[in-house]
């Protein structure tokens, strides 16, 4: 039973590469652009409002501001999920997903506030009941019927995306229900241009609004729909082999044409669509578990759902569409010469690819429940022997080979952990425990790099 493997360190044959801070710059610029856009939207209302009089005026103007911000937020939400390569590589897919989720909550709240405030303000101004004013707005104002349908779809998408609802849905089901957001925004798009006081009499503002939405739509169409089709026809990926690695874990090897043109890096992932019965209609994210090359791509997957379970039965020759590469979990994030790769379960897959290619002094800590759950350990040992690195295997059972995921436990394995960059990948529970443990062990937050595929 191999539970601990340590190899004496020796000088690396590969010289360390200079750290690249490009992702950090993209992250900062993206945040600034979002905040500048929101400020400009509020400024539009401010410039166009000379005075606010009475309760009706305050309610109506609050409705205008929240409506403008909701419309802007919709464009931002779509841009974040457009899979624009600059954002995917510079910001990171998991951070984009978190921004999208947080922005979605803000958007739903702003939309609800806009709807309620406009109705209340209009009813107070006209001195009629809320029900009567709601009927008048929906049935008589331009584009309000479609806007109402979009509003209801947006709220429904928000409900489906709530954490309690997501736990009860398969990823594939949630993914396609979430697509109704596109329809909701499309239905509501014309409403502010037809009825908004900030748009009706201001042609330049209308043109700017069109430019924002057309630009975002172009990104979505090109990167989410046309690019995957174009690459599928170009690279013609097919399954070459399915190899068992551990209980419930398999590696899938794929071959194709011009694979070196994909521009993939160790640590990145693709969204894979296998054109097999029951699998063709969904694309799931799986990391590369070996450095990409011109001959093959490999993923290593644990059976945790219908899609991943079916991969163990996929037949060689099955056609594959790969969307990507995505993610910023790459060597570009490294800021120190010494690195710790901390993995749990099947989260070892992107770390295994990084282990083979990262320059400098690299140590691996691989945690699993039992020794037989340690996937790819033979490859890790071979890489460690080749580069003179250290690998620690930590299992929960039997207890004599366990080590707590605490600051003290990590320091006992890697004494200089505070001076290292840490690449972290594992189940959500492990990640949630590891980050505070790493911080207590002295690792600065900026040196903890992790990506999560939880939806």
Average pLDDT value over all residues in the chain: 86
* CA–CA separation, 269 and 291 (whole Å): 11
Number of Cα atoms under 13 Å in the Cβ half of residue 149: 11
**Looking at domain 236-326, what is its CATH homologous superfamily?**
Translation factors (2.40.30.10)
Q: What angle do CA 404, 406, 408 make, to 5 degrees?
A: 95
At 134-176, the pLDDT tens digits run: 998 888 888 888 888 888 888 888 887 777 777 777 766 777 7
| pLDDT the model gives residue 10 | 30
pLDDT in the model for residue 20 = 40
Higher pLDDT among residues 105 and 24, named by residue: 105
Q: Is the pLDDT of residue 212 over 70?
A: yes
* Predicted confidence (pLDDT) at residue 283 exceeds the cutoff of 80: yes
Q: Residues 38-54: what's their mean pLDDT?
A: 88
What does the pLDDT read at residue 77?
A: 93
Every domain of the chain and the residues it spans: 22-230, 236-326, 334-450
Of all residues in the chain, what percent carry a pLDDT higher than 90? 53
Q: What percent of the chain has pLDDT over 70?
A: 92
What are the DSSP calls for 127-153, one per residue?
T--HHHHHHHHHHHSTTHHHHHHHHHH
pLDDT at 428: 87
DSSP per position, 27-96: HHHHHHHHHHHHHHHHHHHHHT-----HHHHHHHHHHHHHHHHHHHHHHHHHHHTS--HHHHHHT-HHHH
Strands 338-344 and 319-326: unpaired
User: In this predicted structure, which of 26-40, 158-172, 319-333, 355-369 has the lowest mean pLDDT?
Assistant: 158-172
Out of 162-176, 222-236, 246-260, 336-350, least confident range: 162-176
Residue 232 or 24, more confident: 232
Predicted model pTM: 0.78
Distance between CA 269 and CA 285 in Å, rounded? 6
**pLDDT of residue 455 exceeding 50:** no
Among 3.40.50.80, 3.30.450.20, 3.40.50.150, 3.40.50.2300, what is the CATH number of 334-450?
A: 3.40.50.80
pLDDT at 3: 37
Lowest mean pLDDT among 159-163, 263-267, 327-331, 431-435: 159-163
Q: In 179-284, which ranges are continuous DSSP H helix?
A: 180-188, 190-195, 197-200, 203-220, 227-235
Query: Are the beta carbons of 325 and 262 closer than 8 angstroms?
Result: yes
User: Cα–Cα distance between 110 and 259 in angstroms, integer?
Assistant: 45
Local confidence band at 314 (pLDDT 50, 70, 90 cut-offs): very high
Euclidean distance between CA atoms 270 and 93, whole angstroms: 11
Three-class DSSP category at 454? coil
pLDDT tier, 217 (very low <50, low <70, confident <90, very high otherwise): very high
Token output for 439? 């911080």
pLDDT above 90 (res 358) = yes
Question: Across residues 25-40, what is the average pLDDT?
Answer: 92
**What is the radius of gyration, based on Cα positions, of the chain?**
26
Span of 70-79, 167-176, 343-352, 433-442 with lowest mean pLDDT? 167-176
Quickly state the pLDDT bin for 2 (edges 50, 70, 90): very low
Supply the DSSP string of 343-364, one letter for each residue: EEGGGHHHHHHHHHH--SEEEE
Q: Is the pLDDT of residue 39 over 50?
A: yes
């Amino acid at each position: 039973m191999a539970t601990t493997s340590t190899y004496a360190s020796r000088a690396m044959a590969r010289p360390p590469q200079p750290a690249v801070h490009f992702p950090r710059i993209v992250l900062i610029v993206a945040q600034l652009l979002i905040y500048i856009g929101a400020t400009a939207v509020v400024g539009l209302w401010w410039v166009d409002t000379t005075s606010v009089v009475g309760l009706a005026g305050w309610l109506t103007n609050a409705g205008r501001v929240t409506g403008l911000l909701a419309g802007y937020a919709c464009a931002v939400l779509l841009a974040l999920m457009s899979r624009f390569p600059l954002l995917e590589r510079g910001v990171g897919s998991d951070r984009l997903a978190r921004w999208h989720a947080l922005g979605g909550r803000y958007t739903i709240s702003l939309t609800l506030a806009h709807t309620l405030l406009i109705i209340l303000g209009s009813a107070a101004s006209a001195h009629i009941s809320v029900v009567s004013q709601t009927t008048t707005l929906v049935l008589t104002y331009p584009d309000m019927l479609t806007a109402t349908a979009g509003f209801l779809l947006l709220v429904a998408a928000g409900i489906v995306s709530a954490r309690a609802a997501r736990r009860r849905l398969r990823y594939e089901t949630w993914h396609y229900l979430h697509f109704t957001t596109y329809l909701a925004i499309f239905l509501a798009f014309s409403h502010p241009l037809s009825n908004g006081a900030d748009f009706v009499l201001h042609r330049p503002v209308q043109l700017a609004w069109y430019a924002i939405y057309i630009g975002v739509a172009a990104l979505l169409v090109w990167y989410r729909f046309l690019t995957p089709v174009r690459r599928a026809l170009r690279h013609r990926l097919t399954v070459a082999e399915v190899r068992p690695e551990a209980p419930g874990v398999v590696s899938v090897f794929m071959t194709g044409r011009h694979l070196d043109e994909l521009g993939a890096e160790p640590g990145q992932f693709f969204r894979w669509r296998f054109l097999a019965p029951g699998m063709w209609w969904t694309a799931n994210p799986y990391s590369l578990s070996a450095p990409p090359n011109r001959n093959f791509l490999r993923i290593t997957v644990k059976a945790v759902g219908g899609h991943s379970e079916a991969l163990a039965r996929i037949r060689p020759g099955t056609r594959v569409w790969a969307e990507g590469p995505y993610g910023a979990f790459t060597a570009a994030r490294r800021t120190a010469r010494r690195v710790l790769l901390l993995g749990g379960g099947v989260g070892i897959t992107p770390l295994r690819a990084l282990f083979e290619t990262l320059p400098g002094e690299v140590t691996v800590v691989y945690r699993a429940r039992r020794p037989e759950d340690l996937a790819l350990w033979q490859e890790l040992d071979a890489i460690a022997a080749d580069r003179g690195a250290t690998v620690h295997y930590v299992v929960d059972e039997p207890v004599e080979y366990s080590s707590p995921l605490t600051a003290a436990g990590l320091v006992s394995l890697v004494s200089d952990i505070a001076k290292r960059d840490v690449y972290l990948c594992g189940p959500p529970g492990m990640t949630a425990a590891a980050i505070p443990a790493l911080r207590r062990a002295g690792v600065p937050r900026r040196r903890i790099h992790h990506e999560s595929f939880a939806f």
